[in-house]
Structure 1
Amino acid sequence: MLKKLTILMLVVAMLGTFAGCKKAAPVEEMVLKYNVGAEPQYFDPRKATGIPEFTMLLNLFDGLMRYDNQGQIVPSVAESYTVSTDGLVWTFKLKDTKWSNGEPLTAGDFEYAWKTALSPEIASEYSYQLYYIKNGEKYNSGELTNADEVGVKALDDKTLEVTLEAPTPYFTSLLSFTTYLPINKKLDQSNPDWAKSADNYVSNGSFKLTLWDHNHTIEMVNNPNYWDKGKVKLTKIVFSMVEENTTEMLMFENGEIDWGPNPPPAELDRLKAEGKLTVNPYLGTYYYLFNVTKKPFDDIRVRKALMFAIDREAIVKNITKSGELPATAYVPPGVPDATPGSDFRKVGGDFFKAYDPDEAKKLLAEAGYPDGKGFPTFVLLYNTNERHKTIAEAIQRMWKETLGINCTLTNQEWKVYLDNRNNLNYDVARAGWIGDYTDPMTFIDMWVTGGGNNDTGWSNTQYDEYVRIAKSTGDQAARMDAMHKAETILMAEMPIGPIYFYTRPELIKPYIKGYYTSALGYTDFKEAYIEKH
């Protein structure tokens, strides 16, 4: 999930899709029906971790910066900003904006949100995204206990000063991410449970929350107190929470929803032939996690054997079918390297073959399991989704046929699945990561020791050091070199196994116009509208 540049770099990395150049008379009541797929785990921007939450939160809130409908990062709540000559001190002047309840939004709301996101009490998995701020990591770890030492300060109601640990060229991109969104300080202090229902929910974006029927429906309406409300055309967005892909497709075809982001793999060819499928870019990697604290997955040879036995070409050709690429590395294409116009993936190259059954058999035998003899049956965990199920079934067969080993498949609903991953209550688990911003660091810093998204139990001090180097210098060549070295370690020890690089096949009614779909995984409905049809 963010976080996360010349204009050329941004265009290449974001690969965003803006829909709607032709304008027709809009309908009077514009209600967009979107299947988000799962109940949000958290609806507090400080704690959200998944794409379902991100899409909704980035329509409910505005940060200092945001991506516009051309994929360029622009000021939002910020009126303007300046940066010191050493690149460390950023000073933001804020627009006159309001919360959805009519209260004025202040620089103090940003300061409060960021500092509480760093507090151990909040236990935000994304707190590390704020480590770019001076003393952010020390405060989060408890090394410092005085929040005043964290490098964010409201100089007055309309001025926010941010001091960084090191020059960060992509800081403006980070500022659009959910962990950098503001929180209504007054509300959070008086009602810590404000984000658990629609009753007291307050936001500052183009829409405001009006209904949260848990595990069923979320509704948000046009926010009359939004600073840029003249551009917001939709009356309401209704988010359904249907996890089953085939049901989503039937709802789309029956007119019950306008947008379904998870079409079933078995129907992709038909949907494409009928012109119902839209494929958008997606800056991310689909992979499997190993719990390296459990035997036999504490053995690098076992982890590599399982990954080399996967026929990635077969998966993208026969299952995903939407232009995905077999992943033979971790960081996907579309992320810039040090030289303008260069690509981190092209510079780094491949780390293994897309399918290497002979090497897989050899490694498993070296680990003490020739032809799979003596290898324990294990559980492959995935969150409920037809695509994940189909992929897991295919990989289960590949492991059996190539290595002679057995696994059972277990699916769980989103929140339960995340809890088990976070608590290392699994053997092997499905996972995916979509960049939070357009820099390799959004992928690389996940796997530092104790990182909030490092659900593997893996730790490597040299890897941690390369990440530290990349974060502590403004020299782009040195940063990229350190991150390439970190990725080399990650792929050599393989606590995660990349399977393919994402695209984003979706079902979208042709009368939905004006939206912006980002390669970072979210959809912005600020300027969306519905054509008469």
Structure 2
Amino acid sequence: MKKKMLVLLSLVLALSAFLAACGGGKSSDDEKASQNLRLNLTTEPFSLNPGLANDSASGNVLRQTFDGLTRIGKDGEPEKAIAEDIQVSDDQKTYTFKLRDAKWTNGDAVTAEDFVYAWKWALDPKNESQYAYQLYYIKGAEAANMGKGKLDDVAVKAVDEKTLEVTLVNPTPYFTQLTAFYTYLPVNHKVAEANPDWYKDASDDYVSNGPFKMTEWSHSEKIVLEKNDTYWDKDTVKLESVEFSMINDPNTTLSMFDNDELDRAGAPFDTVPTDSMKALKDKGTLQTQAIAGTYWYKFNTEVKPLNNVNIRKALTYAIDRKSIVEQITQGGQIPAMAAVPPSMFPENEKEGYFKDNDVAAAKEALAKGLKELGYSDVSELPAITLSYNTDEAHAKIAQAVQDMWKKNLGINVKLGNEEWAVYIDKLHSGDYQIGRMAWLGDFNDAINFLELYRDKKGGNNDTNWENAEFKKLINESQKETDATKRQQLLKDAEAILMDELPIAPIYFYTDSWVQKDNLKGIVISGLGDAQLKWAYFE
């Protein structure tokens, strides 16, 4: 009996060894989690040149592949990145950045001249950088970009290979937040000068200096990043690769997540289907975080009848935001009756410049607008089209707003949608009437949401609206050193924006997502952007 038991035990042990060899068991190597992250980017990035990028898809890639002078850290504050030391002059206008020993993915040293080149390239009017205005804090930058000054006069210079000196127009307490933003990223000037198209494909010329390097870019299909072994802080990076799919259907991406084809689904890389929100909440798997962002509609204020402020007021007041966030988006969003998020102006969470779904005020404004335009009846209004980029949630919101405007005001509105690249080109060229857009904070200050509308031809304005008093207040706020007075100047500017309404705020953003339980360390800032430098699988 004892011998039979020993034989049986021997057979069990042999079988166990056989199964382990065939994959039926787990060796110590098998137990080590794979560090290959699979995400969905929704759409093709507009551009992976830091000087041209102007959308979240581009930013989501650039934050992983490049390092600026600073980077937003885990605590939401800027920390030193390529800059290992930062000195500020007594008048708070001159910044001297000492660069650490860092390399580009081709082995070149990252130099001060790489920053000078990148910033001046973005400011060169011929390059049509939509975000050039983010560099206007630098002395001479605005004049150069507007064609009223020389690029040589922009106050950024390479003192030597490892020393960058920047002189600002005014003291800017959030400047080290700005230097973490992608318009302030460096570009390898040797590569870019030799090949002006360096950024258009994942070729040997696509060089970067961040935690990851791009190794594949199948346009409109996927982008593959791999750990950058030349990165100055490579020991911090745990992921071996990141693969971004480009699928513009949230139901498909959620199914892929459920089928273990994606490790994460939802903001800020893509979106969770609105119809699935409640079930995911009830299941306890939906994660939500409030972020500094506003979803709004832009009005082309040079096109009839939207050139009339009372027509814009009527359309804005007649929207039922509460029903949109409760019945459509379902992600804890906050109805917005202001432009600046509550993280910057806390009072905007509960108070606004108008009432939500104020049909009486909307009808009164409509009557005034019709009279001012010389129309006797709403049926005489020129046709209005509400446009949005292709997306399930955008479509549902647009359909709901279309119904509200018909029911509350008797205005017939057509809907139009295009894929992102076509859509954003139309908005930037003014080929629209009302267009869906949003703004997620680039840095944690209210001016970031207001300066968009300072100049009629500003890079991301699109509304063709400009107001002299609004512009004056924005400019004064940039010179004001008293924090309380500066805040009031910005509030006064917001009041003008919300009185003339070149935009109709809809809601303040939250990020919602689901992800694998063992995926850790993705850092999402209060601005809603994500960094993978610290991400890993447990």
Q: TM-score, normalization: structure 1?
A: 0.91
1:362 to 361, 364, 372: 364
Deviations 1:138-159 (A, max 9, x none): 11111112x2211111101111
Inter-partner Cα distance in structure 2 for 1:97 and 1:367: 59
d(CA) in 2 for partners of 1:226 and 1:63?
12
Residue number in structure 2 paired with 1:160: 164
Q: Does 1:507 align with 2:514?
A: yes
- Which residue matches 2:462? 455
Query: Quick one: distance in 2 between partners of 1:187 and 1:405?
Result: 54
Equivalenced residue count is 499
Give the counterpart of 1:148 among 152, 155, 159.
152
The Cα offsets for residues 368-398 of structure 1, whole Å up to 9 and x where unpaired, read as 2677332233211101110101111111111
Is the contact made by 2:251 and 2:273 (CA closer than 8 Å) also made in structure 1? yes
Partner of 1:477: 484
In structure 2, do the counterparts of structure 1 residues 186 and 371 end up closer, same or farther at CA, with 3 Å as the change threshold?
A: same
Question: Match for residue 68 of structure 1?
Answer: 73
Whether 1:445 aligns to 2:451 is yes
- 2: CA distance between counterparts of 1:206 and 1:311? 44
Q: Please state if 1:322 is matched with 2:331.
A: yes
* Alpha carbons of structure 1 residues 26 and 308: separation in structure 2 relative to 1, 3 Å: farther
Q: 1:78 aligns with which of 80, 83, 103?
A: 83
Residues 59 and 526, structure 1, Cα contact 8 Å, conserved in 2: yes
Matches within 5 A, 1:331-342: 331-335=340-344
* Aligned residue identity for 1:90: Y
- Compared CA separation, residues 156 and 519, structure 1 to 2 (3 A): same
For 2:125, what is the secondary structure of its paired residue? coil
**Aligned sequence identity (%):** 44
Residue 519 of structure 1 aligns to which amino acid in structure 2?
A: G
Shift of 1:297: 0.3
CA 1:314/1:349 → structure 2, altered by over 3 Å: closer, same or farther? Answer: closer
1:422 positional shift: 0.3
Counterparts of 2:260 and 2:418 in 1: how far apart (Å)?
A: 28
CA offsets 1:19-47 (integer angstroms, 9 cap, x no match): xxxxxx98454111111111011110111
Give the drift of 1:76: 0.7
Query: What is the letter of the counterpart of residue 409 of structure 1?
Result: L
Cα distance between partner residues in 2 of 1:272 and 1:241: 26
Q: Give me the whole-angstrom Cα distance separating, in 2, the residues matched to 1:370 and 1:359.
A: 19
Helix, strand or coil at the partner of 2:414? strand
Question: In structure 1, how many angstroms separate the alpha carbons of the residues matched to 2:504 and 2:134?
Answer: 24
Structure label with greater radius of gyration = 2
Q: Is it true that 1:374 corresponds to 2:380 in the alignment?
A: yes
Aligned to 1:40: 45
Q: Which moves more between the two structures, 480-489 or 133-142?
A: 480-489
Paired residues of 2:390 and 2:418 also in contact (CA < 8 A): yes
Contact preservation (8 Å) 2:34, 2:537? no
Query: 1:396 is matched with which residue?
Result: 402
Of residues 509, 520, 526, the one that matches 2:533 is 526
Provide, for residues 189-237 of structure 1, a one-character-per-residue CA deviation record: whole Å limited to 9, x for no partner. Answer: 0001011000121000000000000000000000000000001111100
1:131 & 1:227 partners in 2: Cα distance?
30
The equivalences for 1:63-142 within 5 A come to: 63-142=68-147
Q: 1:194 aligns with which of 181, 194, 198?
A: 198
Kindly provide the amino acid, as one letter, of the partner of residue 136 in structure 1.
Answer: A
The residue identity in structure 1 corresponding to 2:188 is N
Using the TM superposition, give the Cα deviation of residue 344 of structure 1 relative to its aligned residue in structure 2, in angstroms. 6.7
Structure 2 Cα separation of the partners of residues 474 and 135 of structure 1: 21
Shift of 1:118: 0.8
In 1, Cα distance between the equivalents of 2:100 and 2:510?
Answer: 36
Change (3 A) 1:308 1:218: same
Gaps of 5+ in 2: 1-29
Determine if contact 1:292/1:495 at 8 Å carries over to the other structure. yes
Q: Is the 8 A contact 1:377 1:405 kept in 2?
A: no
Q: Which amino acid counterpart does residue 502 of structure 1 have in structure 2?
A: Y
Q: Work out the CA distance in 1 between the residues paired with 2:69 and 2:484.
A: 28
Please give the residue correspondences for 1:484-495 in structure 2 after superposition, counting only pairs within 5 Å.
484-495=491-502
What corresponds to 1:249 in structure 2?
254
Kindly indicate whether residue 235 of structure 2 is the aligned counterpart of residue 230 of structure 1: yes
| Alpha-carbon distance in structure 2 between the residues aligned to 1:298 and 1:38 | 32
Query: Counterparts of 2:297 and 2:332 in 1: how far apart (Å)?
Result: 20
1:517 to 524, 531, 536: 524
Q: Which has the higher contact order (CA 8 A, sep 6+)?
A: 1
Q: Which amino acid aligns with 2:369?
A: A
Cα distance, 1:477 vs structure 2 = 2.7
Q: Retained in 2: the 8 A contact 1:371–1:403?
A: no
Task: Find the counterpart in structure 1 of residue 312 from structure 2.
Answer: 303
Aligned-partner residue type, residue 325 of structure 1: I
Q: Distance in 2 between matches of 1:29 and 1:253?
A: 18
Looking at structure 2, the residues matched to 510 and 283 of structure 1 have their Cα atoms a distance apart, in angstroms, of 26
* Aligned-partner Cα distance in 2 for 1:170–1:421: 29
Q: Which is worse superposed, 506-515 or 210-219? A: 506-515
User: 1:4 corresponds to which residue?
Assistant: none
The one-letter code matched in structure 2 to 1:419 is D
Map Cα deviations across residues 445-497 of structure 1 (whole Å, 9 max, x no partner).
00012210000111111111111111223232332222111111111100000
**Matched residues in 2 for 1:27 and 1:43: separation?**
33
The answer to whether the Cα contact below 8 Å between 2:301 and 2:464 also exists between their aligned partners in 1 is: yes
Q: Within the alignment, does 1:415 sit opposite 2:417 as a pair? A: no
Measure, in 2, the Cα distance between the counterparts of 1:382 and 1:519: 26
Q: Note if contact 2:33-2:537 (Cα within 8 Å) is conserved in structure 1.
A: no
The 3-state SS of whatever aligns with 2:395 is helix
Query: 1:202 touches 1:208 (CA, 8 Å); kept in 2?
Result: yes
